[in-house]
């Protein structure tokens, strides 16, 4: 539905994802191998991280040789997380690229392998699409209809529509997105490196160098006696009915990042409730430490918090003696000291959710340098964190740019100029794609012409065939106009029948092409019929050709009779319009004083080319005179006499062209008109 609203480019198709795949299957598991030499590496859902396959932690399993062939991953295969304890991980995907280790990688039964039909879909194009907001929106709808979605229904997932441009355009899209994705990944890698700087800096200053001058203390020994952690309690656990929409903030783990306090709160209590819980109050300069969830993060409370704020059950509040330990230094130590990280990891407990208790925090050992050294380190930390914030903002902008490019890529906007410059190539590729999708056969059919699924080569072949046969066909057709039974005469003309059979499947789409050819040929008879055909081609197609789209077996005779009938009908309509027009009014005569027969002939002259002969006027009168004066027949002598009278009255003028006498209407403004050889 969304792609219909977007109005995708003409050559794009939106089949179901399942129609573009060769394989769409779950993996294997097998028996556990004792080591990597005893089995095959099997990729699991845990190996799909940030839209990439991470091979640091690969399971090894023993499987049969038959299953090895069945579950082997090849370059370009897409792995999708099918089952996970976290609904947020369902649908995460990555593309497999064979590492240099020459191992045969398999995939587990918690993942799904998608292998693209490369005649239709490039693997990288599929990968980028599955990571776009369009595919995510489809997945979100599945989430909303299945109450959480802990197991992905691949049959339903594969019904999502996917925009499929011709393969060269897919390659162009992939090339652009790869460059943007590479920039994004470099940013992510740099972010990881930035996060390692402060731990490395702490290690270099306080651990790897001579630190004998620094005293070691337990955390409890540097805290003020009235601090809650010295007496036991941490934050409070509140029930839903105790919270209000506005009031005094309750800070939790979402407010604590490494050395960065987030002041915006999402939970609040009343003043009365605060009075009951003020032993859990926090103030600027307090150090908050996460005890659950993101265990071990620490930050210093900023100065912009309200006077009445408390912490939740998930946090510790640490209030050090400032003369012994700066709050910012304590937070930095808890965040960046590898020894502290090791202690916290060992002390974490809990079967469902790991956490820290008060005794654990009291016993944490830290090195305590002089205040001057602490201040110097804190200044360095502040400077680096400021740069990190700028870097993070840049990373957010790069991610936003990448998502914007994805949206443009799959709406057709990204490659609009490319399509204009490579139309012929893309049309050829679109035809091949449609053959692979089963939308058309090797030879174009009516529906292929209707829906624009013909190649430039096929279109040129059609044009040449029509042009090669049309002129003799039209000669036969025009020769039959004077016969008593036009259609009976046409049935005897092989060339016209062949022509009609040739253009039949193409007319629904190539009406402009056929109209041009018809118009050019009919121009030799008179300009009126060419104009008529051009202006009524749509009617011709709609009334007589469209039914052929559903019945290609319609007989040749019925078809060319229908076509000939409509050509005559269109010419007849145009003659009626000409007959109803007023003839020109030169200053030298008043047309209303003309004899009715002469006036009718003057009207007929207007349907002829600029230059005409008396026989051409007589031929037109013989075919369509009933529109001008149905009461009398006019022979060639009478036509010539009428022309002489119109010449005397100033309506027409004789001109000698190539030693042949022809006539033209006299322009009331200019005395003459260009001769045929001067026109154009």
pLDDT band at 171; cut points 50, 70, 90: very high
* Distance from C-alpha of 637 to C-alpha of 640, rounded to nearest angstrom: 5
The mean pLDDT value for 1-22 works out to 85
Element (H, E) at 384: helix 371-409
Tell me the per-residue pLDDT of 612-655, one tens digit each, with 9 for 90 and over: 888 888 877 877 777 776 556 778 888 888 888 888 887 888 88
The pLDDT, as a whole number, for residue 524 is 46
| Residue 553: Cβ-neighbour burial (10 angstroms; 0-12, 13-18, 19+) | exposed
Whether the Cβ atoms of residue 99 and residue 93 lie closer than 8 Å to each other: no
> Are 334 and 316 in contact, with CB atoms under 8 Å apart?
no
* Per-residue pLDDT reduced to its tens digit, 102-149: 889 999 999 999 999 999 999 999 999 999 989 988 988 887 666 556
- pLDDT at site 187: 72
Q: Write down the mean pLDDT value for the chain.
A: 76
pLDDT > 70: percent of the chain: 69
Of 59-63, 632-636, 660-664, highest mean pLDDT: 59-63
- Predicted confidence at residue 200, as pLDDT, reads 83
Q: How far is CA 503 from CA 30, 468, 469, in A?
A: 62, 12, 10
Nearest Cα neighbor of 434 from 417, 453, 449 is 453
Highest mean pLDDT among 65-74, 335-344, 479-488 belongs to: 65-74
Closest CA to 291 of 326, 266, 320, 318: 318
pLDDT of residue 596 exceeding 90: no
Determine phi and psi for 343, rounding to 5 degrees.
-65, -45
Number of alpha carbons in the 13 Å side-chain half-sphere of residue 467: 9
Task: Quote the CA–CA distance of 312 and 668 in Å, as a whole number.
Answer: 98
With tokens 């022809």, the residue in question is 662
Residues ≥6 apart with Cβ < 8 Å to 645: 598
If pLDDT is split at 50, 70 and 90, which confidence band does 568 have? low
CA distances from 170 to 165, 419, 431, 557 (A): 6, 11, 15, 45
Per residue in 475-534, pLDDT tens? 554 454 444 444 444 445 544 445 455 555 444 444 555 555 555 544 444 444 444 444
Residues near 152 by Cβ (< 8 Å), separated by ≥ 6? Answer: 80, 81, 82, 83, 90, 91, 112, 142
Identity of the highest mean pLDDT range in 166-170, 208-212, 245-249, 663-667:
166-170
459 pLDDT higher than 80: no
Question: What 8-state DSSP symbol labels residue 664?
Answer: E
pLDDT of 670 over the 80 cut: no
Q: Are 293 and 314 in contact (CB under 8 A)?
A: yes
DSSP state letters, 397-429: HHHHHHHHHHHHHTTT-TTHHHHHHTHHHHHHH
pTM: 0.57
User: What is residue 560's predicted lDDT score, i.e. its pLDDT?
Assistant: 44
Interatomic CA distance for residues 602 and 605, integer angstroms: 5
CA distance 530 to 517: 10
Residue with the two structure tokens 């559903």: 550
Q: What integer pLDDT is reported at residue 38 of this predicted model?
A: 75
- Residue 515: its pLDDT value, please? 54
Task: Mean pLDDT check: name the lowest of 128-142, 157-171, 175-189, 434-448.
Answer: 434-448
pLDDT band at 98 (very low <50, low <70, confident <90, very high): very high
How many Cα atoms sit within 13 Å of 288 on the Cβ side?
A: 34
pLDDT category at 157 given cuts 50, 70, 90 is: very high
3-state secondary structure of 366: strand
673 touches 667 (CB < 8 A): yes
Is beta strand 310-311 parallel, antiparallel or unpaired with respect to 248-251?
Answer: parallel
Sheet containing 298-300: give its strands across.
298-300, 287-290, 315-318
* Listed range (4-18, 178-192, 486-500) with the worst mean pLDDT: 486-500
Indicate the length of the chain as a whole number: 680
- Give the pLDDT score at 339: 81
**Spatial CA neighbour of 481 closest among 494, 490, 493, 472:** 490
Query: What average pLDDT score do residues 51-77 get?
Result: 90
Q: Give the contacts of 351 (CB within 8 A, at least 6 positions apart).
A: none
Neighbour-count burial of 496, counting CB atoms closer than 10 A to its CB (0-12 exposed, 13-18 middle, 19+ buried)? buried
Backbone angles phi, psi at 633, to 5 degrees: -95, 145
Tell me the Cα Rg of the chain.
43
Contacts of 385 (CB under 8 A, 6+ apart): 259, 260
Taking residue 46's Cβ as centre, other Cβ atoms within 10 Å add up to: 16
CA distance 291 to 154: 39
Look at residue 310 and tell me whether its pLDDT is greater than 60: yes
Tell me which long-range contacts 661-664 makes (C-beta under 8 A, separation of at least 24): 661/613, 662/611, 662/612, 662/613, 663/605, 663/611, 663/612, 663/613, 663/614, 663/617, 664/610, 664/611, 664/612
pLDDT band at residue 70, thresholds of 50, 70 and 90? very high
CA dist 421 and 412 (Å) reads: 14
Q: Which domains does the chain have, with CATH numbers?
A: 17-160 (3.90.220.20), 215-368 (3.90.220.20), 456-579 (no CATH), 591-678 (1.10.10.10)
Residue with the two structure tokens 């009478």:
638
Is the model's pLDDT at 669 over the cut of 90? no
Q: Sign of the CA dihedral 349, 355, 360, 364?
A: positive
């Amino acid at each position: 539905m969304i792609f219909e609203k977007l109005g995708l480019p003409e050559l794009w198709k939106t089949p179901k994802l399942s129609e573009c795949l060769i394989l769409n299957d779950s993996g294997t598991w097998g028996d556990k191998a004792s080591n990597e030499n005893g089995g095959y590496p099997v990729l699991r859902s845990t190996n799909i991280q940030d839209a990439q396959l991470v091979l640091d932690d690969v399971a090894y399993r023993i499987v049969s040789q038959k299953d090895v062939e069945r579950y082997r991953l090849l370059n370009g295969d897409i792995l999708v997380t099918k089952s996970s304890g976290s609904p947020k991980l369902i649908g995460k995907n990555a593309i497999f690229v064979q590492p240099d280790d020459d191992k045969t990688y398999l995939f587990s039964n918690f993942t799904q392998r998608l292998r693209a039909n490369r005649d239709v879909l490039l693997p990288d194009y599929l990968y980028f699409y599955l990571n776009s907001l369009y595919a995510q929106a489809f997945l979100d709808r599945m989430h909303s209809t299945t109450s959480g979605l802990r197991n992905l229904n691949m049959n339903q997932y594969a019904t999502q529509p996917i925009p499929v441009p011709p393969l060269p355009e897919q390659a162009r899209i992939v090339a652009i997105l790869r460059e943007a994705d590479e920039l994004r990944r470099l940013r992510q890698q740099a972010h990881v490196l930035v996060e390692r700087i402060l731990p490395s800096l702490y290690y270099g200053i306080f651990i790897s160098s001579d630190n004998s001058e620094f005293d070691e203390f337990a955390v409890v020994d540097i805290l003020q006696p009235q601090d809650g952690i010295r007496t036991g309690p941490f934050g409070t656990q509140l029930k839903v009915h105790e919270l209000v929409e506005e009031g005094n903030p309750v800070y939790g783990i979402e407010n604590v990042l490494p050395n960065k306090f987030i002041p915006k709160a999402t939970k609040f209590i009343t003043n009365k409730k605060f009075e009951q819980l003020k032993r859990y109050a926090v103030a600027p300069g307090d150090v908050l430490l996460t005890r659950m969830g993101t265990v071990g993060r620490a930050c210093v409370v900023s100065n912009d918090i309200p006077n009445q704020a408390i912490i939740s059950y998930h946090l510790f509040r640490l209030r050090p003696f400032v003369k012994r330990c700066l709050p910012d230094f304590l937070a930095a130590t808890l965040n960046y000291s590898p020894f502290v990280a090791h202690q916290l990891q060992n002390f974490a407990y809990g079967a469902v959710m790991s956490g820290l208790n008060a005794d654990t925090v009291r016993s944490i050992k830290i090195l305590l340098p002089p205040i001057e050294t602490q201040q110097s380190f804190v200044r360095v930390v502040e400077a680096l964190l400021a740069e990190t914030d700028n870097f993070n903002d840049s990373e957010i902008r790069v991610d936003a740019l990448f998502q914007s490019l994805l949206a443009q890529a799959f709406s057709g906007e990204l490659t609009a100029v490319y399509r204009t410059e490579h139309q012929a190539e893309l049309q050829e590729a679109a035809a091949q794609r449609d053959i692979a999708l089963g939308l058309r056969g090797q030879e174009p059919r009516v529906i292929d012409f209707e829906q624009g699924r013909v190649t430039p080569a096929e279109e040129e072949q059609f044009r040449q065939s029509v042009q090669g046969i049309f002129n003799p066909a039209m000669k036969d057709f025009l020769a039959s106009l004077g016969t008593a039974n036009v259609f009976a005469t046409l049935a005897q003309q092989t060339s016209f029948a062949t022509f009609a059979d040739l253009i039949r499947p193409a007319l629904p789409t190539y009406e402009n092409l056929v109209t041009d050819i018809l118009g050019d040929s009919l121009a030799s008879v008179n300009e009126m019929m060419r104009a008529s055909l051009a202006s009524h081609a749509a009617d011709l197609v709609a009334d007589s050709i469209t039914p052929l789209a559903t019945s290609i077996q319609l007989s040749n005779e019925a078809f060319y009779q229908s076509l000939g009938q409509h050509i005559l009908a269109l010419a007849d309509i145009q003659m009626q319009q000409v007959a109803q027009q007023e003839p020109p009014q030169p200053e030298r005569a008043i047309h209303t004083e003309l004899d009715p027969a002469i006036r009718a002939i003057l009207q007929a002259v207007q349907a002829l080319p600029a230059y005409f002969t008396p026989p051409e006027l007589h031929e037109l009168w013989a075919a369509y005179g009933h529109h001008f004066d149905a009461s009398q027949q006019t022979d060639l002598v009478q036509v010539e006499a009428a022309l002489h009278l119109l010449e005397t009255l100033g309506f027409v003028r004789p001109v000698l062209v190539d030693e042949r006498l022809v006539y033209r209407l006299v322009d009331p403004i200019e005395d003459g008109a260009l001769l045929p050889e001067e026109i154009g």
